[in-house]
Structure 1
Amino acid sequence: MVVQDDIHDYGPLMDKTPAVRVLLVNDKRTAQLAIHGCYQITGSLTNIVDQGQDLRRCAISISNGGINIGNKHYNHNELRIVSQQSGGIEVNSVRYRGEIRILQQLNDKLSVIEETDIESFIDGVLGSEMPQSWNEDALRAQAVTARTYAMYKKKIRRDDVYHLDMLELAYRGIANESGRLTQIVQDTKGIVMVYNWNIFPAYFHSTCGGHTEDVRHVFGKDSIPPLSGVACNYCSDSKHSSWSTDISKSAIEKKLQEANVYISNISTVMAVNPGAGNHGSRVEIASANGSKEMNANDFRLMIGPNNLLSTSFQAKNNGKSITFTGKGWGHGVGLCQYGAQSMAEKGFKWAEILKYYYPKIELVRVY
């Protein structure tokens, strides 16, 4: 439940729930589409170009200056699809609630964007970012955090084609929704975090390993109190609080090459300039061609965030492989999800959890 004393109204409230645009497919030659229920397709100038009921799964692609849906060709550079059935549009086997836009890109490639109201989006994010069985106050804290992040992105990307890449937040349309989660999102409807009455990028991660990091240290952004890092004694029960993994040097070199970083015959990898949570700000890679430094979180994402769990690691050269021994999972900035769950289990309410991980925030209702 919302504790009213913790919530402020942010001036004149929005008269309706804002919409967000989410990039689902980017710069691909093809994607899969299916539609359930009655649907309507409009062209670039909002004129109806097709309508029907139930479209079996088919490929979408670009050719001859237009968009192909199955065996039909539409001479438009953009199509918008709506279905009367909630969650009736399926893209790459995932169902979505909102309007779907198919846009031509260069070289006969396409992108697919969903436009939906932000509460439906947060409903889809919540069950993908946290286990649905977790404590309600941890889930409420996550809902407010994700909403704050999405609203911040909407603000700074106001005039862009899309506000959010689906990879920025775990989002699987309606796949991980439930009645319980929908009620939790509804409990916090319209509530976001602000600092000095400005919305900010509310980063979060799985497990910090003992201390969250300053946003300047990890992402090079201006440091503010809510993103400056705090001690965390709550995530020690996470299975990711400490870990060890062995990655072959050839696999590391291949991943780097895929990201246009060419290094061969790696000898060592070292996380340097550790922050308060021991996450390296930079990574130094020594090889036969000398040493190279790069942003530590960029390196982690190149190797794969599920392969190298964090940049808080020590590395040991094992000949053909490197053993990484580290703490935590994620970039380490903002809310620690396992810490939030532990705090909730200990009786902390969702507003208290947020004010712990994001010091000096205010909680405000914007719609």
Structure 2
Amino acid sequence: MVQNEVLDYGPLLDKTPVVRVLLVNDKQEAQLAISGCYQITGSLTNIIDQGQGLQKCIISVNNGGINIGNKRYKNSELRITSQRDGEIELNNIRYRGEIRIMQQFNNKFSVIEEIDLESFIGGVLGSEMPPSWDEDALRAQAVTARTYAMYKKKVRRDEVYHLDMLELAYKGVAGETARLNRIVQETKGVVMVYNWNIFPAYFHSTCGGHTEDINHVFGRDSIPPLSGVSCNYCNNSKHSNWSTDISKAAIETKLREANIFVSNISTVTAINPGAGDHGSKVSITSANGSKELNANDFRLLVGPNYLFSTAFHSRSNGKNITFSGKGWGHGVGLCQYGAQAMAQKGFQWTAILKHYYPKIELVRVY
């Protein structure tokens, strides 16, 4: 590790921050099991139940109460803690922190986990990047994920949750290994800042040769760390170049689910390409005329595992659209396959981060 490139002025925060992660939202049922001693509170201090363990059961809500298995609690919110970390299992995934079950409308509920940031990053790292990859690539990913999470905690500090588990791949304890936990600890408290401001440290799988400006993709103000850089390192990704067929009917169905109505699609064209050839918009020509959508929104609606990026050319192919493109993801920030190739070439994690996020400083905040 290269410690002398990290600014360390002593702790700027007195302890590791706690983040609130949305695990379940707007659901009528979820599965819960607890493998050891636990407590349930209806407030921060009022213990209303406890036990030695809980067999797998169903969480549900009705008539103003929360049901856990055959027990009913007349509370709008329940907090569940276990005696030992990682003993609470929700929908077959084990979690370290406290979970909060919160009633919503129409007999639905959400579940939020409260967990210290380092434990959260430990659960993210192996889900966002292959655990077998080079340690410097993994260190770069840990700092990137921590920076993103800290930014979200800052901008959402007064909201019910800071992070949706879909924003960062997160599988609780399942993604952890001793090697990954060591790597997280080696970078503990380190984040990236620009002009002493934390920023949304976006990242993606494969850029295809050049990362994109945040303004081009997300319409947010451009800053040097998120303005896009040349990347000559991700050619070994199987998604550096790709081609796929997606049926016109499937595209129409996905758009209709988002209340965007088109029929008999003839063409789908990425327009206004950026430095990495990712379109900022998509133009859809159909029987309804021509319609423009934000390109990344279109990719997510169609399915990011089907339409890998918006850096594509396309052609009508009978009942399908054939998309031929490069890269996987939105193209902003760290290119993960590029980071791995840089690490294999001997670049250390600080150099990797400073390549993909120009003009940053690395600061240990706790």
Question: Superposition pairs for residues 135-174 of structure 1, below 5 Å?
Answer: 135-174=134-173
1:228-287 deviations in Å (ceiling 9; x for gaps) = 000000000101101111011111111111122111111110000000000000000000
Alignment-derived partner of residue 294 in structure 1: 293
1:65-93 deviations in Å (ceiling 9; x for gaps) = 01010111100000000001220001111
The answer to whether structure 1 residue 284 and structure 2 residue 283 are counterparts is yes
CA distance in 2, matches of 1:356, 1:68: 51
Q: TM-score, normalised by structure 2?
A: 0.99
Alignment-derived partner of residue 187 in structure 2: 188
Q: Secondary structure at the match of 2:209?
A: coil
CA distance in 2, matches of 1:169, 1:227: 18
Alignment-derived partner of residue 255 in structure 2: 256
1:199-230 deviations in Å (ceiling 9; x for gaps) = 00000000000000000000000000000000
Q: Secondary structure at the match of 1:251?
A: helix
CA distance in 2, matches of 1:142, 1:60: 35
Q: CA deviation at 1:12?
A: 5.1
Q: Which moved more, 1:163-172 or 1:10-19?
A: 10-19
Alignment-derived partner of residue 58 in structure 1: 57
Q: Secondary structure at the match of 1:175?
A: helix
Q: CA deviation at 1:4?
A: 2.5
The answer to whether structure 1 residue 331 and structure 2 residue 330 are counterparts is yes
User: What is the number of residues matched between the two proteins?
Assistant: 366
Q: CA deviation at 1:10?
A: 5.4
CA distance in 2, matches of 1:203, 1:279: 15
Q: Secondary structure at the match of 2:173?
A: coil
Alignment-derived partner of residue 243 in structure 2: 244
Q: CA deviation at 1:294?
A: 0.7
Alignment-derived partner of residue 304 in structure 1: 303
Q: TM-score, normalised by structure 1?
A: 0.98
Amino acid at match of 2:13: M
8 Å CA contact retained: 1:144, 1:192: yes
8 Å CA contact retained: 1:66, 1:77: yes
Alignment-derived partner of residue 217 in structure 2: 218
Q: Secondary structure at the match of 1:250?
A: helix
The answer to whether structure 1 residue 365 and structure 2 residue 342 are counterparts is no
Alignment-derived partner of residue 71 in structure 2: 72
CA distance in 2, matches of 1:327, 1:135: 24
CA distance in 2, matches of 1:176, 1:12: 28
Q: Which moved more, 1:318-327 or 1:330-339?
A: 318-327
CA distance in 2, matches of 1:307, 1:10: 46
Amino acid at match of 1:105: Q
Alignment-derived partner of residue 6 in structure 1: 5
CA distance in 1, matches of 2:4, 2:138: 20
Q: CA deviation at 1:45?
A: 5.6
Q: Report sequence identity in percent.
A: 77
Q: 1:92–1:109: structure 2 CA closer, same or farther, 3 Å change rule?
A: same
Give every structure 1 segment of 4 or more consecutive aligned residues whose post-TM-superposition deviation is greater than 6 Å: none
Q: Secondary structure at the match of 1:266?
A: coil
CA distance in 2, matches of 1:258, 1:236: 35
Alignment-derived partner of residue 41 in structure 2: 42
CA distance in 1, matches of 2:104, 2:183: 38
